């Protein structure tokens, strides 16, 4: 038996035979056919240039038809936000610059259709990679995915067939899986995923979490030594893969898996009751969403509303800014799904690691400390005002609240409110119906706002603590830099003290306070946050059943004692050890 270690990308335990997925690299085949060493491939046109370009055009048309099908399938299986990637793939196929480059490669460089496609797409992908930006690096991967699809059509290669035709349950082992691979997969037969590359926010990890399939990613090349059919245990809780386990180990893990599945089923059944402690203290357990589909999914998991609607996803993956009308339709669609349930819409939070391709932003030395979120919105009224108009209109007769991200000072709160008032006056003057009683809150995710929460609270209706950012700013550790990940700890006493102060300040001013950072759905932290008095927990939908079950298993007196004991610890490790010693449920 061997143990391989990687990142725990999606919780759960899977046991089954390995399906080693190693699609042929069409480009490598081409290069070797032509006898060339390394890129660029130099397959010479066997036919005349016009005929080769016609082959390219036909392949692009077939790819477009395939991608339409893949989009529809993904929409049904994993929702709009994730399926949107295949709309972006379709756009590449008709990109005039790319098509012109393929033609040029055929006519001027005398390349064959397959090589022209590879060279043109690869050139474009390299340009995007050179921009040294996470968003564009991902687009480069998408370009390669599309290039492979088109070349497979040209050569008649069939490697995705294996994934769509799975007929018995397997654990997929791969270097990495592209969006096209996962979209075409027969997911009913996939027990688990393990990949050699990829991080916790890689496409494979996100899909695995949405589908509830256990996954371990970033294992390294050792994974690729696994032989097809080898029995594997994927431990998505701890980020480990065991190969060829002995009978005792198999039995032990099968038991753990069954217990986990039984707990998830039971929690899910009970998740439709309102969240409350065993002694009747009510809190709200709500969801973080990105569109109407994810709102629907969240209600299915027992969400009592939405604590964070990340509107930036409506702005990403497209070539131009969505109009006020488009935004209105999208916000209203979400509000309609939620009915009377509360919906907190966060205004645009871009910058940092989220860039819009159509909004030219100068490179910054420290993007997370730079021009992002409310700072950018206050500077660009033609982005901020249409969004506020769309939200106010969509909020008519609905339980909608507005939340401003990345507030550092009271002046920013006041300026944002002034813009909102101006927009309300414009709508009233135009006779456009809108909700005049929308509540206004802010995200507390910058230490300055946390420290002066008592001064800000009287000027807003609510707070939502954004721990994803609050932790990085408190401990001065970039949230996407693995080298300083050891500092990034939600249980650090400095973070806990800030959270406690924010809750006390909000309550002192008679305001409610929620949390929409990942910490709110972390079962280790929930008892502590409950005891500190947090009123609302907003999390990924799949965490809701376990979170509600945990809250229901505690009394408020117990939770308060846990919080006060944890707050006396001096290091994150001491806090963690204390919480683990309580032996409470883990998500």
- Summarize as ranges the residues that interact with ligand PEP (CB under 6 A): 308, 310, 349, 445, 466-469, 516-517
Integer CA distances (angstroms), 286 to 257, 282, 342, 533, in order: 27, 13, 9, 16
Size of the site for Mg ion (CB under 5 A): 3
Residue of 203, 377, 543, 587 with catalytic role: 203
Task: State the residue number with the nearest CB to Mg ion.
Answer: 469
Which range touches Mg ion (CB under 5 A), out of 305-313, 396-404, 468-476, 484-492?
468-476
Residue 447 C-beta: closest distance to ligand PEP, Å: 13
Instruction: Give 267 or 349: the residue with its C-beta nearer to ligand PEP.
Output: 349
Interaction partner, residue 475 (Mg ion, ligand PEP, none; CB < 5-8 Å by kind): none
Q: How many helices (H) and strands (E) does the chain have?
A: 24, 16
Nearest distance in Å: CB 352, ligand PEP:
7
Determine which one of 194, 341, 377, 516 is catalytic. Answer: 516
147, interface contact from Mg ion, ligand PEP, none, CB < 5-8 Å by kind:
none
Nearer to ligand PEP, 6 or 466 (CB): 466
Residue 30 or 306 having the CB closest to ligand PEP: 306
Beta bridge partners, 310, equal 346
Closest distance to Mg ion from the beta carbon of 469 (Å): 4
Q: Which does 467 bind (CB under 5 to 8 A by kind): ligand PEP, Mg ion, none?
A: ligand PEP
What lies within 8 Å, CB to CB, of 345 at 6+ separation is: 309, 311, 331, 334, 391, 395, 400, 401, 402, 403
Query: For residue 248, which phi and psi values (nearest 5 degrees)?
Result: -65, -40
Minimum distance of Mg ion from residue 466's CB (angstroms): 4
> Which CB atom, from 93 or from 520, has the smaller least distance to ligand PEP?
520
Q: Has 516 been annotated as catalytic?
A: yes
The dihedrals phi and psi of 285, each to the nearest 5 degrees, come to -115, 115
Q: Does 466 bind Mg ion (CB under 5 A)?
A: yes
> Measured from the CB atom, is 112 or 352 closer to Mg ion?
352
Q: From the CB of 182, what's the least distance to Mg ion, in Å?
A: 27
Is there binding between residue 445 and Mg ion (CB under 5 A)? yes
| Three-state SS at 14 | strand
CB of 220 to Mg ion, least distance (A): 31
The alpha-carbon radius of gyration of the chain (Å, integer) is: 26
CB of 443 to ligand PEP, least distance (A): 7
CB of 529 to Mg ion, least distance (A): 17
For residue 142, the partner it binds in Mg ion, ligand PEP, none, with Cβ less than 5 to 8 A by kind, is none
Residue 456's H or E segment, with its range, is helix 453-456
Region class of 344: left (phi > 0), else alpha (psi between -120 and 50), else beta: beta
Nearer to ligand PEP, 102 or 516 (CB): 516
* Nearby residues of 52 by Cβ (< 8 Å), 6 or more positions away: 45, 106, 111, 112, 113, 116
| 367: three-class secondary structure by DSSP | helix
Of 550, 573, 107, 149, nearest to 539 (Cα)?
A: 550
203 is catalytic: yes
Q: Is 415 left (phi over 0), alpha (psi -120 to 50) or beta?
A: alpha
Choice between 331 and 473, CB closer to ligand PEP = 473
In whole angstroms, what is the distance from residue 103 CA to residue 80 CA?
Answer: 34
Residues 516/288, Cβ–Cβ less than 8 Å: yes
Question: 80 or 349: whose CB is closer to ligand PEP?
Answer: 349
Give the Cβ contact number of residue 421 at 10 Å.
11
Look at residue 545 and give the partner it binds from ligand PEP, Mg ion, none, a contact being a CB closer than 5 to 8 Å depending on partner kind. Answer: none
From ligand PEP, Mg ion, none, which one binds at residue 516 (CB under 5 to 8 Å depending on kind)?
A: ligand PEP
Q: Compute the residue count for the chain.
A: 587
Single out the residue of 482, 483, 1, 2 nearest to residue 222, CA to CA.
2
DSSP 3-state of 413: helix
**Are 233 and 256 within 8 A, CB to CB?**
no
Does residue 469 bind Mg ion (CB under 5 A)? yes
Q: How far apart are CA 87 and CA 93, in angstroms?
A: 10
> If we measure between CA atoms, which residue out of 577, 567, 579, 473 comes closest to residue 522?
579
Which of ligand PEP, Mg ion, none is residue 226 near (CB under 5 to 8 Å by kind)?
none
Residue 152 interacts with, from ligand PEP, Mg ion, none (CB under 5-8 Å by kind)? none
Compute the least distance from the CB of residue 463 to ligand PEP, in Å.
12
- Which of Mg ion, ligand PEP, none sits in contact with 66, Cβ below 5 to 8 A by type? none
Complex with Mg ion: residue 412 or 469, whichever CB lies closer? 469
Where do the DSSP E strands lie in 376-483?
Answer: 400-404, 439-444, 462-465
Contact residues: Mg ion, CB under 5 A: 445, 466, 469
Catalytic residues, which ones? 203, 516
């Amino acid at each position: 038996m061997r143990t391989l270690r990687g990142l725990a990308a999606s919780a759960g335990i899977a046991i089954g035979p390995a399906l080693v997925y190693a699609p042929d690299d069409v480009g490598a085949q081409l290069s070797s056919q032509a006898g060339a060493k390394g890129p660029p491939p130099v397959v010479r046109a066997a036919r005349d240039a016009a005929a080769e370009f016609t082959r390219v055009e036909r392949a692009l048309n077939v790819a477009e038809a395939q991608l339409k099908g893949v989009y529809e399938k993904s929409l049904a299986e994993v929702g709009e936000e994730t399926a949107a990637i295949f709309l972006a793939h379709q756009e590449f196929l008709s990109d005039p610059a790319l098509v012109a480059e393929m033609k040029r490669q055929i006519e001027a460089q005398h390349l064959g259709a397959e090589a022209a496609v590879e060279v043109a797409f690869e050139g474009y992908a390299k340009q995007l990679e050179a921009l040294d930006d996470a968003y564009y690096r991902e687009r480069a991967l998408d370009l390669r995915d599309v290039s492979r699809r088109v070349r497979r059509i040209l050569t008649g290669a069939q490697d995705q067939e294996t994934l769509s035709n799975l007929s018995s349950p397997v654990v997929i082992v791969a270097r990495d899986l592209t969006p096209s691979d996962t979209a075409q997969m027969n997911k009913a037969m996939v027990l688990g995923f393990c990949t050699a590359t990829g991080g916790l926010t890689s496409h494979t990890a996100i899909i695995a979490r949405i589908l509830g399939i256990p996954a371990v990613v970033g294992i390294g090349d050792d994974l690729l030594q696994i032989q097809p059919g080898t029995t594997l245990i994927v431990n998505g809780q701890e980020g480990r893969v065991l190969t060829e386990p002995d009978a005792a180990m198999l039995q032990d893990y099968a038991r753990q898996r069954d217990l986990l599945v039984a707990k998830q089923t039971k929690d899910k059944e009970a998740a439709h009751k309102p969240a409350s402690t065993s002694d009747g203290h009510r809190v709200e357990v709500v969801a973080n969403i990105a569109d109407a589909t994810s709102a629907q999914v969240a209600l299915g998991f027992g969400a009592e509303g939405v604590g964070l609607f990340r509107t930036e996803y409506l702005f990403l993956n497209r070539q131009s800014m969505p109009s006020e009308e488009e935004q209105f339709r999208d916000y209203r669609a979400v509000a309609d799904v939620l009915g009377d349930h509360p919906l907190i819409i966060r205004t645009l939070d871009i910058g940092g690691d989220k860039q819009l391709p159509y909004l030219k932003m100068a490179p910054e030395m420290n993007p997370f400390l730079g021009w992002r979120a409310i700072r950018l919105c206050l500077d660009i009224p033609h982005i901020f005002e249409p969004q506020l108009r769309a939200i106010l209109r969509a909020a008519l007769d609905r339980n909608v609240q507005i939340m401003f991200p990345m507030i550092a000072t009271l002046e920013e709160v006041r300026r944002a409110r002034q813009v909102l008032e101006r927009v309300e006056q414009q709508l009233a003057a135009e006779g456009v119906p809108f909700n005049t009683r929308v509540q206004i809150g802010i995200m507390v995710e910058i230490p300055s706002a946390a420290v002066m929460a008592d001064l800000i609270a009287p000027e807003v209706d609510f707070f939502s603590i954004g721990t994803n950012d609050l932790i990085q700013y408190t401990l001065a550790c970039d949230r996407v830099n693995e080298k300083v990940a050891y500092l990034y700890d939600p249980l650090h006493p400095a973070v806990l003290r800030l959270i406690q102060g924010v809750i006390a300040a909000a309550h002192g001013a008679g305001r409610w306070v929620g949390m929409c950072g990942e910490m709110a759905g972390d079962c280790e932290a929930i008892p502590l946050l409950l005891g500190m008095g947090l009123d609302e927990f907003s999390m990924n939908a799949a965490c809701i059943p376990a979170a509600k079950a945990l809250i229901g298993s505690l009394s408020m007196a117990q939770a308060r004692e846990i919080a006060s004991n944890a707050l006396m610890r001096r290091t994150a490790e001491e806090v963690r050890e204390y919480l683990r010693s309580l032996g409470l449920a883990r998500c």
